[in-house]
Amino acid sequence: MMEKAEEILKVKGVNPTAVRILVLRYLLEHLKSQSLKDIEEGLMHTDRSSIFRSLKTFEEKKVVHSIEDGSGMIKYAVCPTGCNCDPQDLHYHFYCTKCSYTYCLLDNPIPIIKLPQNFKMQRANMVVKGLCNKCS
């Protein structure tokens, strides 16, 4: 029985190197989405640029999705099972302005948004901001 991280990398066609396994495990172990810095601090012996490149590869191969929550740091979260990062897979995120955690709101799909003539949607970054249950 292969570990979860290795399994995911195999399915998504990403070569399971040491750094990549560590980074993906770190993301899987944490409920909230993590910034490059979070991961760097969590994996104290892995270089920032290697983590960075792992995350870029993960994003490209749809292992993770990134969230621009306006905190100044991009957050990363493992894509939920079945996610292909298509518009219909998109979900809202919640950024707590107090503890600065960013959560995936997987229960609410994003509605169809009526765009002006000839505008074509590719993806979206939807962030609700406020106080999370722990901070309100």
Chain positions 60 to 99 lying near Mn ion, rule: CB under 5 A, are 77
Based on CB atoms, which residue is closest to a copy of itself, 49 or 97?
97
Part of the chain binding DNA (CB under 7 A), chosen from 34-42, 81-89, 101-109, 127-135: 34-42
Quote the tokens at residue 104.
Answer: 């995936």
CB of 103 to a copy of itself, least distance (A): 8
Find out whether 58 and 24 touch, Cβ atoms under 8 Å. Answer: yes
* 92 binding a copy of itself? (CB under 8 A): yes
82/58 Cα distance (integer angstroms) = 15
Rule CB under 8 A: say whether 80 interacts with a copy of itself. Answer: no
Instruction: Kindly tell me which of 82 and 111 has the beta carbon lying closer to a copy of itself.
Output: 111
Number of neighbours of residue 101 by Cβ within 10 angstroms: 18
**Token pair listed for 90:** 């998109």
- 46 or 71, CB closer to a copy of itself? 71
CA distance 33 to 49: 19
